[in-house]
Amino acid sequence: MVTDEKIYNAAVMRYRLGNLLIWLGVLTWLPFIVLRIAGEKPSLFWYLPFHLAGVIGGSRLRVYARKELRMAPPKKSHLRTVGHIMIFAGILVWAPYFYLKAVQQPVEVMDYLPYHLTGVLGGVGLLAVNLWLSKKAS
């Protein structure tokens, strides 16, 4: 028999699984970074699918779990908007990289990675500050 408690527990587990997938997607890059430090040149394309599957899949899973849990959507604020814009810009940094790769121009990952990390981590930082401020206010 399906009860409200079982549905609630399943949604909580989906939310936690979403968090785990996001972290696994981010931590996919640890072997890549270690190999780069060791002087190797691993292919970005061996790591990118796992990164994207973890980060995108985990974030979608969290959104669905939030809806199942009937959690109120986060309040809109200027800080939240700027955070999302920074994350989006950090992701868009890769557009010229992949274009240059497609036309077979020599291009280096490390020329784009600092900008990607600055946008994404800066945006996530702003979202964290926004969350902290909203919890402090309530």
- The one-character DSSP state at 44 is G
Q: Are residues 79 and 68 in the same domain?
A: no
CB count, 10 Å around CB of 35?
Answer: 13
Per the structure, the complete domain to which residue 131 belongs is given by 74-138
Is the Cβ–Cβ distance between 116 and 55 less than 8 Å?
no
Alpha-carbon gap, residue 58 to 135, rounded angstroms: 24
Q: What are the phi and psi torsion angles at 28 (to 5°)?
A: -55, -30
Q: Are residues 64 and 78 in the same domain?
A: no
Say if residue 82 is exposed, middle or buried (CB neighbours under 10 Å; 0-12, 13-18, 19+). Answer: middle
Q: Are residues 66 and 3 in the same domain?
A: yes
Q: Are residues 69 and 81 in the same domain?
A: no
pLDDT at 38 over 80: yes
**How sure is the predictor about 10, in pLDDT bands with cuts at 50, 70 and 90?**
confident
Q: Are residues 97 and 54 in the same domain?
A: no
Secondary structure class of 108 (helix, strand, coil): coil
pLDDT at res. 69: 87
Q: Please indicate whether residue 3 or residue 28 has the higher confidence score (pLDDT).
A: 28
Those residues with Cβ within 8 angstroms of residue 137's Cβ, 6 or more apart along the chain or in another chain: none
Is the Cβ–Cβ distance between 24 and 49 less than 8 Å?
no
Q: Are residues 97 and 61 in the same domain?
A: no
Q: Are residues 81 and 124 in the same domain?
A: yes
Average of per-residue pLDDT across 14-25: 94
Domain C-terminal end among 26, 51, 73: 73
Q: Are residues 80 and 138 in the same domain?
A: yes
